[in-house]
A and B are shown apart, each in its own frame.
Chain A
Amino acid sequence: MAAAPGDAPGEPPPAAAAGLESRQRLHPLSPLLNGAKSIVVIIAALSWQTYGQLGAAHFAIVVAVLAVGVVIFSAVGWWNTGYHVVGRELRIAEGLVWRRNRAIPLDRLQAVELRRPLLAQLTGLAELRLEVVGGGKTEAPLAYLTVREAAILRERLLALSGRTPAPHPGATTADPAAHAAAPPAEAPLYRVRNQDLLISQLLTPQALFLPVGIAWVSTQFLMEGSWTFIGIASTVTAMAGVLLQPIRRVLQDWNFRAAHDQDRRLVLHYGLLETRNQVVPLHRVQTVRVIWPLLWRRKRWLNLRLDIAGYSGPEPGDDKSSDRLMPVGDIGTARALVAAVLPGVDLATLATSPPPARARWLHPFALRFHGAGLTPDVFVSRWGRVTRELSMVPYARLQSVRVVQGPLQRRLGLATVYADTAGGRAGIARDRDLAEAWALAEQLAVRARQARGLTTAPPATGPATPPPVPVASASPPAPVPPGAVAPGAIAPAGWYPPSGPGAPDDEAYWQRPSPS
């Protein structure tokens, strides 16, 4: 069906696809919505100057002509865009002049996000964004579908993306409508209090400097008496870029909710003007980071972030990326959430050991906030004096392990161990004793192998199973070395020596060598 003009080239042979499903279009309103965005851009580009030259009537005509042009252009694009699911692939065809057919293998799907910008909310539409590894940006945003369609498609894609072939083989054809007819039951995990969110964003450097900035700018103007429009506009825009970040964050994280769906995937809802609804299978979580900003410390608040392979690397302005797990909350909430995302991990019992005392030469102030530790499920590392951070990398997600030793470290007999993940961030054990670094690297490699073996061997269990626990040592936890853990929000409840089959038998690596 949908014999779009010029359908033939590059299209997969119909015999392969026809038996399964026909190509589907996006929602007919999408060109209007896409056009609306462009119209704003056009108006901005035309600027006040043109308005002054043309007069209101002509200006309106110009805008209207351009708007119609844009909408026609988007409509042509819409007519030639289609998607369909073939086997375990999502195929998206688009373009009139440059045709592009893209096949997305669903077993590589990392997360699916349903975004609804303001206009889409008004019209009951949604944009479906798929995160795939290797894409520098979000691949294949399907904009727009009706919310119902998008939800059905998402369920179906996620079902297909599971490690097992879809539980009901009929799902590839027409079944999913029934599946999605009943809204998926969600077990709520956490919900941010909007009041806390507001306060937490007031407690950011930008918000605190806002009055200072305003005062400075106004005195500047009062002193010089130069109230030119350009001057004010440029100052305001310059300040807005930085200072409005807290406001943007409040808008984005408004009404943040986390839940488990019936397949124990993580579901996140948030946003005020643009709502986002993100579904992340738990086995796609690459790293969980805990951040204690300086200004939140009195409130005992912290912040959880989630790294998923599709969302490319560390971005400077991380407003766009969807990596939040908890915008603000206390340690109890964080514990519960971490336990839900990384089953078997208790945030309050993550023991880390500090680097040897001689690393003080490299970190004169922050040494006691550095640490690394191997727990049964995750590799923990922590750092930071002012903003304290802690990252947890599940062993099963490790891509590679690196040991790096710089010239200064060599003089001191230290080395840094990196545990790389596909999320772009690594768990980093900084400045460990060299022998300990080797042992740590070896342990990480061994544990990653075991964890992988356990996750891949029983393919039927799916994401619901707790991540593998390398058979925990039967020996009682050894006493915590004095001063092993920074007196931060986390109290050590146990000290895990390296354990499990294949572990080197010398636990001496973990008893800190006496400073020589």
Chain B
Amino acid sequence: MSEPSRTVVDALEPWPDTVAWRPVSPKLIIVELIGLGAWIAFLVAGLSVGWVIGGQSWWPIAIAAVVLLGVWRAVIEARAVGAWGYAERDKDLLVRHGLLVRHLSIVPYARMQYVDVTAGPLERAFGLATVQLHTAAAASDARIPGLPPDEASRLRDRLTALGEDRAEGL
């Protein structure tokens, strides 16, 4: 009989005694930042063109705002990568993510319908891949980005093996 409020400290750390969370690769930060940087550059370029053409004084303010927003997002995203984590338990996979809105998914291996391993061009350049586990429920949200390829394929093989072991209908 433990006191519940003591066992749980952080929304991202449930069951700290029994679950060993594995982080995703920190290289994901770079990938995310490049993506963000591209967006910011695009927006800033558009606004600069507007400034050159229009010439009103509020264009630079907008540019500054976009840059500030970008810096803020960069900080958030860098921290959010640290929030991603996954854990393989006996019977289910745990995935957590998000800083502002925190998510934790518990997906039993037996419910797995299929596994996706994807890697975009940026991710590939940094040697990363995303593993996503799909169940019959569309809402199930078990996506793990930023895995090194060998870890991704290990996870995929393990998931499919476990899924086959415990396969069943709905």
Please give the residue numbers on chain A whose beta carbons come within 8 Å of chain B beta carbons, in ascending order. Answer: 107-108, 110, 133-134, 163, 284, 286, 309, 313, 397-407, 410, 415, 418, 420-422, 424, 426, 433-436, 438-439, 441-442, 444-445, 448-449, 452, 456, 505-509, 513
Contact = CB atoms under 8 A, between A and B. Distances in A.
A34 B169 CA distance: 34
Contacts of A439: 4
B46 interface: no
Contact of B102 (A397, A410, A456): A410
A505 B168 contact: no
B8 interface: yes
A509 B2 CA distance: 9
A435 B135 contact: no
Contacts of B168: 452, 456
B39 interface: no
B105 A401 contact: yes
Q: Point out which of A399, A444, A505 has the most chain B C-beta atoms below 10 A from its C-beta.
A: A399
A403 B136 contact: no
Nearest to B168: A456
B88 to A, nearest CB: 14
Interface stretch (B30-38, B62-70, B106-114, B143-151): B106-114
Given A163-B169, A420-B137, A452-B168, A509 B106 contact: no
A122 B7 CA distance: 67
B111 A400 contact: yes
11 contacts: A107-B169, A108-B170, A133-B136, A397-B170, A398-B108, A399-B140, A400-B139, A422-B170, A426-B137, A435-B8, A513-B5
Nearest to A442: B15
A441 B4 CA distance: 14
B129 interface: no
A436 B14 CA distance: 11
Contacts of A133: 136, 170
Q: Is the interface of A mostly helix, strand, loop or mixed?
A: mixed
Given A400-B111, A445-B106, A421 B137 contact: yes
B105 A402 contact: yes
Contacts of B7: 435
Contacts of B107: 399-400
B52 interface: no
B101 interface: yes
Given A402-B141, A407-B100, A449 B8 contact: no
A402 B136 contact: no
Most chain A beta-carbon neighbours within 10 Å: one of B3, B15, B139: B139
A382 to B, nearest CB: 19
Interface string B14-29: 1100000000000000
B14 to A, nearest CB: 4
B74 interface: no
Nearest to A455: B168
B125 interface: no
A400 B141 CA distance: 9
A442 B168 CA distance: 22
Given A309-B170, A424-B137, A449-B91, 20 more contacts: A284-B170, A399-B107, A400-B105, A400-B107, A400-B135, A400-B139, A400-B141, A402-B139, A404-B103, A410-B11, A420-B140, A435-B5, A438-B14, A438-B15, A439-B4, A441-B14, A442-B14, A449-B108, A507-B1, A508-B3
Contacts of A405: 11, 101-103
Nearest to B1: A506
B12 to A, nearest CB: 9
B138 interface: yes
A422 B137 contact: yes
B108 A445 contact: yes
Nearest to B169: A107
A108 B167 CA distance: 13
B155 interface: no
Nearest to A506: B1
Nearest to A435: B4
A400 B108 contact: yes
Contacts of B103: 402-405
A402 B3 CA distance: 23
Contacts of A513: 4-5
Contacts of B138: 313, 424
Contacts of B1: 505-508
Top-4 shortest CB links A-B: A435-B4, A422-B136, A399-B137, A420-B137
Contacts of B170: 108, 110, 133, 284, 286, 309, 397, 422
A381 B140 CA distance: 19
A442 B104 CA distance: 11
A69 to B, nearest CB: 41
A123 B5 CA distance: 67
Most buried by A among B14, B15, B110: B14
B131 interface: no
A448 to B, nearest CB: 7
A134 B138 CA distance: 10
A108 B3 contact: no
Contacts of B92: 445, 449
Of B4, B103, B104, most A-chain CB atoms within 10 Å: B4
Nearest to B111: A399
Nearest to B113: A134
Contact of B4 (A397, A401, A508): A508
A107 B168 CA distance: 10
B112 to A, nearest CB: 10
Contacts of B159: none
B106 A401 contact: yes
A108 B169 CA distance: 7
A312 B163 CA distance: 24
Interface in B76-96: 91-92
A134 B142 CA distance: 18
Contacts of B91: 445, 449
